[in-house]
Amino acid sequence: MARRVLLLTQVLPYPPDSGPKVKTWNVLKCLSSEYEVTLVSFVRGDQAHAAHRLREHCRAVYTVPIQRGAVRDLWHLTCSLVKRKPVVIVRDDQPAMRRMVDQVAAASRFDIVHADQLNMAQYAARVTGAATVLDAHNALWLLYKRLAETMAPGPMKMVLQRESRLLRGYESDICNAFDLVLTVSEEDQAAMEAVGAPTSRLATVPIAIDSDEVTPIARAGDANHLIHMGTMYWPPNIDGVCWFAEQVYPLIRAECSDVTFDIIGAQPPRRVRALAVHGNGIRVTGYVENPTPYLERAAAMVVPLRAGGGMRVKILNALAQELPIVTTSIGCSGIAVEDGKHVLIADSPGDFASAVLRVLRDPHLAATLGRNGRDLVRTQYDYRAIRARLLEIYRRADSVRRQ
């Protein structure tokens, strides 16, 4: 009889149109090649079609609706203050999810329960007799610490500093309670070790994509658009895009007046929407179901992150699409890219602008970066390249629990 895995996800991992979904979609494909997977996930709105697609890789799919909003966020912050727990954990502590996990666990025996992202770890303890695996997309305490460091003094900086302190303790407790914690980079593994996670329970498996699903983009010969893609309600993306638009982009426009900048991603807040001023060449599109026409006009993908952790799936995707990329050191952290070979890396406004101008002015450089980037993804970051390592780590965790 096939070993059974209960996969708990904070977002339904299909369609693979955002970083967390891409990562989990390809982990699911790896696991389903050897295990019988049951998926329990939060959903937003009607995602029946996506759930149906996931059943191709799952024994069963169960969903729990979740809603977000400013009023709910304020309530969760208040609860966090009372409970002294991280807001992101309190926010996703939902009675309906607890009931669903209890029902599914009572109806079937599972050998492994896999919590996808820290938010879902609180539900794994409800499944008895199973090995526990946490797939940590980021070391969240470090991510929030870095984000706070980008903020000017004020209430938001204080909230982020508090969240980082609470997450540091919470991640330490979870890492010590779980049988196995997967990190996506050596840096994230070191961040978990820094909060007291046992090294013996940590394993690094990089994020992987499917290079058959993500294919090269036929860019226009006269492409002069800069493009950023990412979920625009994610604070590090907001900070990075605003930094680029306000401090870097004007330097580029001073040299290339016809360049434009497209910001693509779901739910851009008012601060991001306000970047698009008549005549400045900035467009804020919101979510785009098919971004291919934008990518075909892209001279470069910019990833100007100043805070973050883990690995950026947007960079893996862009590498697989043979798009020239300009990013910061934090933006490409955890990915084995070389500056000048696969991407261009710059951290100050002036250096970032100069790197973008190099790509705009040198089509041969742009094409070489693209080809080298796709070669890197196919050899090191395709899900077929990491499947054997992931499954071997899984077998080890499973066998330890059975001893």
Q: Write out 285-339 in H/E/C secondary structure.
A: EECCCCCHHHHHCEEEEEECCCCCCCCCHHHHHHHHCCCCEEECCCCCCCCCCCE
CATH fold for domain 225-381: Rossmann fold (3.40.50)
DSSP percent split of the chain into helix, strand, coil, nearest 5: 50, 15, 35
What is the model's pTM? 0.85
The greatest distance separating any two alpha carbons of the chain, rounded to the nearest whole angstrom, comes to 67
Beta-ladder partners of 182: 135, 203
Alpha-carbon distance 52 to 57, whole Å?
10
Write out pLDDT tens, residues 261-278: 999 998 899 999 999 998
Sign of the Cα pseudo-torsion (112, 109, 129, 398, in order): negative
Tally of CA atoms within 13 A in the half-sphere of 330 that contains its CB = 18
Q: What local confidence, expressed as pLDDT, does residue 1 receive?
A: 60
**Which residues of the chain are under the pLDDT cut of 70?**
1, 398-403
Sign of the Cα pseudo-torsion (97, 179, 2, 21, in order): positive
CA angle, residues 218, 313, 18, in degrees to nearest 5: 90
The per-residue DSSP string of 72-121 comes to HHHHHHHHHHHHTS-HHHHHT--HHHHHHHHHHHHHS--SEEEEESGGGH
Q: What local confidence, expressed as pLDDT, does residue 171 receive?
A: 95
Query: CB neighbours of 234 closer than 8 A, spacing ≥ 6?
Result: none
Q: What local confidence, expressed as pLDDT, does residue 38 receive?
A: 98
CA angle, residues 41, 291, 382, in degrees to nearest 5: 60
Specify whether the CB–CB gap between 115 and 123 falls below 8 A. yes
Alpha-carbon distance 120 to 134, whole Å?
9
Please state the domain extents for the chain.
Answer: 4-208+383-402, 225-381
Specify whether the CB–CB gap between 287 and 265 falls below 8 A. yes
Q: Which of 133, 101, 126, 161 is nearest to 27 (CA)?
A: 133
In CATH terms, are 4-208+383-402 and 225-381 the same topology?
yes
For domain 4-208+383-402, give the CATH superfamily. Glycogen Phosphorylase B; (3.40.50.2000)
Write out pLDDT tens, residues 83-141: 889 988 989 999 999 999 999 999 999 999 999 999 999 999 899 999 999 999 989 99
Write out pLDDT tens, residues 383-401: 998 999 999 988 887 666 6
Beta-ladder partners of 379: none
